[in-house]
Each structure stands twice: as C-alpha cells, then as structure tokens.
C-alpha cells in the first residue's frame, strides 16, 4: 500500500487567514485559497478534478452544490469533475483522502482538494444547531444535547476515571495558543495561561470557554499530483498512510467515554500503510483539539501517551514545539489557529506540509521528516488519520 500512496506528492498548498471574515463570502474564501495554492504551484500542473469539502454550507449559508460552485468561482479548469466529501468536522481530511485515493487509482494525475467553511454569516444559535447536526439529531439533538455538552461528558468521565483536573487539561489549549503567536494566519494569537483557562466562563461543566475552539471562517486548498516534481521521482512531501474509521453516531451507544476507538483504528491503519509499527517515528503531530478533552484523548488513542497518562505527558512538556517529544499543533491547532470546520482537516495537512518541507518559519520543528494528522468528526463517530513523509 505504501508504494501506491507514496506516488502521491503534495505539490502546493494555499489558505486564507482563519477568522471572522464578515467582508468575504463562502465562494470568495474558497477562491482565495485556490488562487493562493496555484500561485505556489510548480508550472504546468493543471488540476483535473476537485475534491470539495464544506461541513455545513447548506445549513449556514443555504448553499449546496459547492463542488461546481468552487470550480466556477475559483477559476479552476472549466468542466472538470467535482466530488463533495462530508464527514462532519473531518470533512476536509476525508476530501484529502479521497483525492489521494483517486490519484493512487490512476484515475487522475493532478487534483485539487479544497475545504471551506463560512460560519459567521449565521447567527450563533443557527451555528450551534449546525454543529449539533454532527451528532445524533434524533436521540441526542432532540433532547437538547449541544456539541459542547457531548464533549463535556467525555471530559467529566475522563477526569473522574483518572483523577485529573481542569488545570491539567488546560495545558493543551495553552500549548496551542503558544504556537499560534507566531502564525500569521491564525485566528487567535494571544498567549493564555492555565489560570486564564480555568477562570474563563463555564460552557458545559467541566469544559470552560478557553477549552473550546472558536467559530471560524476559512478555506484551504491542496494540490496533489503523481507527476514527478523537481524532475525526480523521489523527494517532496508524500503520502505515507491513510486511515479512516467510524463508530456509533450517538455516544449513548459507546461502551466507554474515555477513549475514541475510531481514532485508534484509523491511526493503526495509517501506521500500517506507512510500514510503521508505532508512532515513535512521528516527528510532528496535528490533532483535533476542538475541545481540550479531545486533545488529551488524541495523545492516548494515537499512542503517544499511555491510557490515563496524557496529562502527565503534557506536564512533562511532551508536546512543546521546542524540545517536546512530539511537537503538537504547531501552528495553533483548532483552538488557536481556528476551526473553519470543512477546511480544518486540510489546514492540518498543509501545516504538516510546511513542517516537512522546512518551510514553517518561526514555527519550524527541527528535522521534521514524518508527520501525522488526526481529524475527528462528531464525537469520534468518524476519524481520519493521515501520515506524510518527506524524503529530503
């Protein structure tokens, strides 16, 4: 599998700043990311298909059919095929996976994957309902479960099971914010402290405001190809592994509230593709810290920390960009770079791309050769894991 996937090269990436872009529409954001990507692309690469992702454009801005919309608005080659991919908050990563699979199958030589989310044209109430649609609407949403509420159940179960505190959880968003300080396109670039986090407004106990990611607009495009870049079949940033797994939609049907089995399975699949027996060979990590608890669980489910030990790992500086065992969320993660839902999975992959190319500027992790990204949809009802490697 690794040979087939390794034929896929990331040729270029482009993205918008993440934030509240009241002056720009969904189609403008998407177009901006495509144009930026193509400006960064080697000459002569023409996308033959688009894999498009927007989690909730239908609910948020009443716009469906975003495949043809983006081809049209972004000036992609006329009449190319477009495939929209959806998997809740993992939509962007899944669009990337589908793009890779289409190239590995030899159907196309060069494709574009574009993720976009426009959340600020909607009211907070409508946005919250749209986010809740990633949960089980009949059995969770109907009873008034918000997305934050469902995540908070995992947080309280974990804290109870392992005797850890919100102060310990807070280390995760503190790290994410630290990394966003030097990220020009991040939404939230302020440093925060543990005290800031635990004294912020309660959202759903035990989760507080500064443990929850913001509402964001943004778009990210990635150009992928099986053509040899730089005149050589080797080199560049290549796909080493893909893994995707689902789990029950409702968390009422889960056996436990302290782990995401889909995360474990997806990671295992990606590692198997990459010929890696564990994560010790991963140099840089981007995980789905929509809520602090999800960052904590990611470390355990992906295999970077033992069960119940993620907070100890955080306390030892394990995820620090400078000197940590596994630099994590190196551009701010969902919490600080932001979470334009349908684009997020692609932002993570773009961030790994910059790390592996040595193009991460002040955010550079030294000697990053292999990176992993994890993107979660729903409360772990679908998880996509991606491993990239550079040959340099």
Partner 1 sequence: MTKSTSLAWRKFKERYLFDASVCDKCGRTVFPKRMVCPGCGGTGFSGKKLSGMGKIISWTKISSPPEGGMPYWLVLVELADGVRVFGQFEAEGGEPEDGLDVTPVFRVLRKEADGGIIHYSYKFKKA
Exposed, middle or buried by CB within 10 Å (0-12, 13-18, 19+), for 124? exposed
Is position 146 an interface residue for partner 1 (rule: CB under 8 A)?
yes
Is position 386 an interface residue for partner 1 (rule: CB under 8 A)?
no
Considering only residues 287 through 346, tell me which ones interact with partner 1, judged by CB under 8 A. Answer: none
244 is catalytic: no
- The helix/strand/coil state of 114 is strand
Is position 256 an interface residue for partner 1 (rule: CB under 8 A)?
no
> Which of 139, 227, 309, 320 forms a contact with partner 1 (CB under 8 A)?
139
Active-site entry in 28, 89, 204, 213: 89
Is position 213 an interface residue for partner 1 (rule: CB under 8 A)?
no
DSSP type of residue 344:
H
> Which of 46, 101, 149, 198 forms a contact with partner 1 (CB under 8 A)?
149
Considering only residues 360 through 379, tell me which ones interact with partner 1, judged by CB under 8 A. Answer: none
> At its nearest, how many Å lie between partner 1 and the CB of residue 88?
18
Instruction: Count interface residues toward partner 1 (CB under 8 A).
Output: 31
> Which of 145, 276, 297, 326 forms a contact with partner 1 (CB under 8 A)?
145
Residue identified by tokens 């940590």 is 324
Task: Name the percent of the chain in helix, strand, coil, to the closest 5.
Answer: 40, 20, 40
Is position 133 an interface residue for partner 1 (rule: CB under 8 A)?
no
Strand order in the sheet with 50-53: 82-84, 50-53, 110-117, 218-225, 9-15, 237-246, 382-390, 370-377, 284-286
Torsion of CA 151, 157, 163, 168, to 10 degrees: 0
339 is catalytic: yes
The b-or-e profile of 74-90 (16+ CB within 10 A means b, else e) is: bebeeebebbbbbbbbb
Return the number of the residue (266 or 293) whose C-beta is nearest partner 1: 293
Q: Using CB under 8 A, list all residues that contact partner 1.
A: 124-125, 128-129, 132, 138-140, 142-146, 148-149, 152-153, 156-157, 160, 201-205, 248, 250-253, 257
Catalytic positions are: 89, 339
């Amino acid at each position: 599998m690794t040979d087939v996937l390794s034929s896929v090269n990331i040729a270029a990436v482009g993205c918008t700043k993440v934030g509240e872009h009241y002056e720009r529409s969904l189609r403008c954001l998407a177009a901006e990311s495509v144009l930026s990507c193509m400006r960064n692309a080697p000459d002569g690469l023409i996308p033959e298909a688009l894999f498009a992702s927007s989690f909730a454009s239908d609910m948020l801005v009443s716009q469906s059919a975003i495949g043809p919309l983006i081809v049209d608005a972004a000036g992609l080659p006329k009449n190319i095929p477009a495939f929209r991919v959806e998997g809740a908050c993992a939509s962007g990563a899944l669009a990337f996976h589908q793009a890779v699979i289409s190239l590995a199958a030899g159907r196309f030589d060069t494709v574009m994957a574009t993720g976009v989310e426009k959340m600020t044209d909607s009211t907070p109430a409508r946005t919250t309902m749209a986010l809740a649609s990633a949960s089980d609407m009949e059995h969770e949403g109907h009873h008034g479960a918000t997305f934050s509420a469902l995540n908070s159940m995992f947080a309280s179960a974990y804290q109870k099971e392992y005797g850890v505190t919100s102060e310990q959880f807070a280390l995760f968003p503190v790290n994410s914010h630290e990394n966003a300080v030097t990220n020009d396109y991040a939404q939230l670039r302020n440093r925060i402290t543990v005290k800031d986090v635990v004294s912020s407004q309660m959202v759903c106990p035990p989760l507080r405001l500064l443990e929850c990611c913001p509402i964001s607009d943004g778009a990210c495009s990635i150009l992928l190809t099986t053509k040899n870049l730089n005149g050589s079949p080797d080199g560049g940033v290549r796909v080493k592994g893909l893994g995707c797994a689902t789990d029950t939609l409702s968390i009422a049907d889960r056996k436990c509230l302290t782990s995401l089995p889909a995360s474990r399975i997806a990671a295992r699949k990606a590692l198997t593709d990459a010929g890696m027996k564990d994560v010790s060979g991963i140099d840089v990590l981007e995980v789905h810290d929509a809520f602090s608890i999800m960052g904590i669980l990611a470390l355990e489910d992906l295999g970077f920390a033992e069960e119940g030990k993620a907070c100890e790992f955080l306390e030892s500086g394990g995820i620090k960009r400078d000197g940590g065992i596994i630099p994590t969320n190196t551009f701010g993660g969902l919490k600080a770079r932001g979470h334009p839902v349908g684009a997020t999975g692609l932002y993570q992959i773009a961030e790994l791309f910059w790390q592996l190319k040595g193009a991460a500027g002040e955010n550079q992790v030294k000697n990053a050769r292999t990176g992993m990204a994890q993107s979660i949809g729903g409360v772990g009802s679908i998880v996509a894991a991606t491993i990239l490697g550079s040959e340099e």
